[in-house]
Amino acid sequence: MGSVEEVRSLLEEGLTQAQRSLRLHLGLSRTYWVFIDRKNKYGGEKQQNKSSELYTGDGSVDISGKPVLKQNTGKWRACPFILGTECCERLAYYGIATNLVSYLTNKLHEGNVSAARNVTTWSGTCYLTPLIGAVLADAYWGRYWTIAAFSTIYLIGMCTLTLSASIPAFMPADCVGSACPSATPAQYAVFFLGLYLIALGTGGIKPCVSSFGADQFDDTDPKERVKKGSFFNWFYLSINIGSLVSSSLIVWIQDNAGWGLGFGIPTLFMGIAIASFFAGTPLYRFQKPGGSPLTRMCQVLAASFRKWNMEVPGDSSLLYETQTSAIEGSRKIEHSDELKCLDKAAVLSDAEIKSGDFSNSWKLCTVTQVEELKILIRMFPIWATGIVFSAVYAQMSTMFVEQGMMMDTSIGSFTIPPASLSTFDVISVIFWVPVYDRVIVPIARKFTGKERGFSELQRMGIGLFLSVLCMSAAAVVEINRLQIARELGLVEKGVAVPMSIFWQIPQYFLLGAAEIFTFIGQLEFFYDQSPDAMRSLCSALSLLTTSLGNYLSSFILTVVTYLSTRGGKAGWIPDNLNEGHLDYFFWLLAGLSFLNMLVYIVCAKKYKSKKAS
């Protein structure tokens, strides 16, 4: 084995690719290679610095695949088109989702539990399909073309749903007294076809739009990186502006002017969303797809299993890594000491060193590829704690609405649709976004020293605490509502009690504040902490918590109904809520939220952030 001086001499002269692999066998530190690279590139540094001022440093390109000039593209110049797209798309989505439980109960004549279950199942599917869109975006199509393709599917679904509520043959007959005919299988088929085409279409938009917007800011530019933090706040604000219009104007139209028009207007806005998105094309920055993230993760598992008996060297510089990232569109990720069993995938075998063939990723993976999987595993506990929060959030479109139906909804001669109370959730969000961005962040920055005021983990933790307060407020309102029903002898009559629906405002307002901290914190966390070539997938994973939260809500409803109706009892959530105990259900969710918050605090303290080179 040669001396260090002999190796240094060989390096200075330049080695062939096969000879370069020898340095791994000899245990030469990567530090020396960095020194060599810097020496070789010294003459071109000035030219590179000049280029970095003109072009983005994160590998973004234009629609033709050419490097983009910083001055002419991206940043807030491109964002209005993306924010406009999101605002209109969310108006369309919430124009369907906000009052869907009312359509199912009043027009399709379903019971309370069945309607709530259908709504939460559909909502859950809307947040499950983003996994499909994310994989296509990261691996093959890129975020832009994925949004374009799935928006078309979305629009077709909206049109189908509008037809199902407009053509008499597709709608069940109206109730005659207490007799309400059920929808026919064909009527159900057309309605749910449109509904689930929307669920599929939104799957290509949800995980990509926020990431595509964040892509307009160069991660390697400190000034643009700070603006990216503000983008997520204003992105969420645009969501809620669309939601505000839906929960107020669109819901009123549905309840008073007809469901055909009430579904048709959101369809029109979906068309506007598509037009807005394409209008900004010349200004966008695009990230190239880096290949299938699922394939890369499987390769790491396969390679580490093949080399299960090999020892991981104590010096991480001996693990296999290429000089530049082998994954297109991704920076290299520094090695971490956790989950060392996966490091076996990056250990060079004697046969690989001898042959000099490192091309088979199913046998040998780079450190960056291994770290991608490690990052996802580290994220998992934080991700899982978002499921219970999403179950709480699901109550806004189900149990909160059904609670409101049994309260006084009149103001003089004007009747307030119960679903319109979600307007106060939106107002809360619209109020808190600028306050958080312009007031809270600068104040918090002085105390924490963080450029965004709070870390993403701190921000999410505050939101989880607020969710406990939200469910507690809902339970207190229900206790008082039931008390009034008993005092006035309305328990068996199943009619609304003379208690103003505006008593629901605190629970909606608290839920809006919780959203600002938890959901926006999730957007930031899963974008910043994800590997560069897996950002759509990680955004989809954050949305998946909403899906699983809706499924969890459906599961809890099913279990509660089964257990509470045994022995012929009315149960906690009967069709006549005056006979039930919806307050028990809200206290159950408050307790689960509190336990979830404690688990989150433990997981957040143990989390270690990603380090990109």
How many CB atoms sit inside 10 A of residue 560's CB? 18
Q: Minimum mean pLDDT among 81-90, 327-336, 517-526: which range?
A: 327-336
> By C-alpha distance, which of 236, 248, 222 is closest to 57?
222
Pairing state between β 414-415 and 410-411: antiparallel
Rounded distance between C-alpha atoms, residue 372 and residue 327, angstroms: 11
pLDDT of residue 612: 60
DSSP-assigned letters across all residues of 108-170: S---HHHHHHHHHHHHHHHTTTHHHHHHHIIIIIHHHHHHHHHHHHHHHHHHHHHHHTTSGGG
Tell me the per-residue pLDDT of 547-573, one tens digit each, with 9 for 90 and over.
788 788 888 988 998 888 887 787 888
Mean pLDDT over residues 440-448, rounded? Answer: 84
Mean pLDDT over residues 91-102, rounded? Answer: 86
How many CB atoms sit inside 10 A of residue 311's CB? 8
Rounded distance between C-alpha atoms, residue 368 and residue 531, angstroms: 9
Residue 362 burial by Cβ neighbours in a 10 Å radius (0-12, 13-18, 19+): middle
pLDDT of residue 395: 87
pLDDT of residue 21: 42
pLDDT of residue 468: 95
- Check pLDDT > 90 for residue 470: yes
- Check pLDDT > 60 for residue 40: no
Runs of H (alpha helix) within 286-330? 293-306
Runs of H (alpha helix) within 385-530? 386-394, 399-405, 422-435, 441-448, 456-487, 505-528
Rounded distance between C-alpha atoms, residue 166 and residue 161, angstroms: 9
pLDDT of residue 329: 61
pLDDT of residue 53: 65
> By C-alpha distance, which of 380, 323, 335 is closest to 526?
380
- Check pLDDT > 50 for residue 394: yes
- Check pLDDT > 90 for residue 323: no
**Cα 418 from chain centre:** 27
Q: Residue 33's pLDDT band (boundaries 50, 70, 90)?
A: very low
- On whether the CB atoms of residues 275 and 121 are closer than 8 A, the answer is no
- On whether the CB atoms of residues 326 and 296 are closer than 8 A, the answer is no
Amino acid letter, 286: F
Tell me the per-residue pLDDT of 185-203, one tens digit each, with 9 for 90 and over.
888 888 889 999 999 998 8
> By C-alpha distance, which of 553, 528, 336, 539 is closest to 451?
528
**Cα 157 from chain centre:** 22
- Most confident range (mean pLDDT) of 209-223, 277-291, 305-319, 593-607 is 593-607
Q: Residue 7's pLDDT band (boundaries 50, 70, 90)?
A: very low
Residue 301 burial by Cβ neighbours in a 10 Å radius (0-12, 13-18, 19+): middle
Task: List Cα–Cα distances, 455 to 449, 518, 529, in angstroms.
Answer: 10, 12, 12
Residues 6+ apart with CB under 8 A from 82: 209, 212, 213, 216, 235, 277, 280
Do the first three CATH levels of 59-290 and 372-612 match, i.e. the same topology? yes
Q: Minimum mean pLDDT among 68-72, 75-79, 587-591: which range?
A: 68-72
Total length of the chain: 613
Instruction: Give the domain ranges of the chain.
Output: 59-290, 293-371, 372-612
DSSP-derived 3-state class of residue 416: coil
CATH 1.20.1250.20, applies to 372-612? yes
How many CB atoms sit inside 10 A of residue 500's CB? 13
- Check pLDDT > 80 for residue 413: no
pLDDT of residue 416: 83
CATH architecture label of 59-290: Up-down Bundle (1.20)
pLDDT: which is higher, 349 or 596: 596
Average pLDDT taken over every residue of the chain: 82
Q: Residue 17's pLDDT band (boundaries 50, 70, 90)?
A: very low
Residues 6+ apart with CB under 8 A from 376: 297, 534, 538, 541
pLDDT above 90 as % of the chain: 18
- Check pLDDT > 50 for residue 29: no
Q: Residue 328's pLDDT band (boundaries 50, 70, 90)?
A: low
pLDDT: which is higher, 383 or 421: 383
Mean pLDDT over residues 30-45, rounded? Answer: 41
Rounded distance between C-alpha atoms, residue 389 and residue 457, angstroms: 14
Mean pLDDT over residues 362-377, rounded? Answer: 89
